Amino acid sequence: MDTDTDTATGEWSPSPGRPAGRRTGRRFGAWCAALLFAPVSVVVGCRVADTDGVTPVPQLLAFLPWLLVPTGAGLLLTLLARWWTGAVWGVALLGLLAWFIEPYGKSVDPAGPPLAELRVLTSNVEFGQGTRALVAAVREEKPDLIFVQECEHTCDAALRRDLAADYPHREAVEGGGSEGSVILSTYPLEATAGVPATMGMPGAVADVRGHAVRLQLAHPMPPLPDQVGLWRDELDALRDAVAGDRSTPAVVAGDFNASQDHAAFRRVLDTGLRDAARLAGADRTVSWPARTAPAFGVQIDHVLVSEDFAARGARFLDLADTDHRALVVDLTLHGAG
């Protein structure tokens, strides 16, 4: 049978019975497929090795599910070019991507009796611009705990003015721009050291109907090309703070600037925390950027809970004037099994 490829090696060899133009077109298609597969292979290889690598891998890992698009296009090109070695390459990549898209971490519900129900809301208000929309969402959703990131001075003043009556308890790291962060609560709070970082990550212990619940706001630096090391260090510091006390029920919420496809974030989950959105069946719902959600984006805003909690629902809210969607989760605190 006339063919353009050597079946043993997958490489092309001249075929006198085949027009030169067709051979050139297939060779071009195979090269295009290889160019699509190569960067995807690097990202998938880092995922297999459980590392975030170096720029641009951390940035691409955030969009791991979307790598199915260039991989699928490359596989189609290999079939059109009859490049069977490349087709095997593409199928292997698709299989690995499908495997890693599955949710990460445990999802077993706690066995103990229910002790309390609480609603948690987290929102990055983008330099305070989304504060007015956040206040409206709070009044509608009526959460018990609120975690606010990028709450600069005007945002902080607005929350004090508009929400202090319903949320008399607060812990905050004050700052301008993206540095300010606030925890608001209907429950009494006792301050903790929080996590030292470039942007504020305050912490507290809430008295939830007589039960201590540790609260930690998360907002590490994003993995910008020149700040990947800092991003990783601040996520590691967050993980260490959480791992330091595993006897108290915990809620860790905020803009993690990381998804489950980042090794640094998975190490946070490996402390025993679970992603509430995953527990509620919304583990891949887009939270950033809000302009393209839910069609395109990544989930980097999370509410993580210890094994003492069950999640009964998770909703992502579109707020005006911020590039993040807010996340609301309903939790049930359980006693020891």
pLDDT, tens only, 27-51: 999 999 999 999 999 999 999 999 9
| Domains along the sequence of the chain with CATH | 20-101 (no CATH), 114-334 (3.60.10.10)
Rg of the chain in Å (alpha carbons): 24
Residue 61 contacts by C-beta under 8 Å, 6 or more apart in sequence? 43, 46, 47, 52, 53, 259, 261, 262
pLDDT value at position 176?
95
- CA distance between the termini of the chain: 68
> How distant, in Å, are the alpha carbons of 28, 135, 261, 263 from that of 315?
46, 17, 21, 25
Q: Distance between CA atoms of 321 and 180, rounded to whole angstroms?
A: 17
How large a percentage of the chain has pLDDT more than 70?
94
Phi, psi of 275 (to 5 degrees): -80, 120
Q: Distance between CA atoms of 321 and 123, rounded to whole angstroms?
A: 12
Look-up of token digits 């992603």: 275
pTM: 0.91
> How distant, in Å, are the alpha carbons of 3, 229, 266 from that of 232?
50, 5, 12
Query: pLDDT band for position 16 (50/70/90)?
Result: low
| 68-81 helix and 84-101 helix, angle to the nearest 10 degrees | 160
pLDDT value at position 107?
81
Residue 174 contacts by C-beta under 8 Å, 6 or more apart in sequence? 153, 156, 180, 200
pLDDT value at position 18?
57
Look-up of token digits 């069977």: 84
Question: What is the average pLDDT across 54-65?
Answer: 96
Summarize pLDDT for 165-220 with one digit per residue, the tens: 999 999 999 999 999 999 999 999 999 999 999 999 999 999 999 999 999 999 99
Q: What mean pLDDT is reported for the chain?
A: 93
Name which of 169, 320, 148 is nearest 217 in CA terms. Answer: 148
Q: Is the per-residue pLDDT at 88 higher than 80?
A: yes
301-305 and 250-255 strand pairing: antiparallel
User: And the tokens for 79?
Assistant: 């079939």
Helix (H, G, I), strand (E, B) or coil at 308: coil
Q: Is the per-residue pLDDT at 8 higher than 80?
A: no
pLDDT value at position 138?
98
- Residue type at 203 in one-letter notation: G
Higher pLDDT: 18 or 107? It is 107
Judge contact between 71 and 94, C-beta under 8 A.
Answer: yes
Q: Distance between CA atoms of 298 and 317, rounded to whole angstroms?
A: 15
Query: pLDDT band for position 160 (50/70/90)?
Result: very high
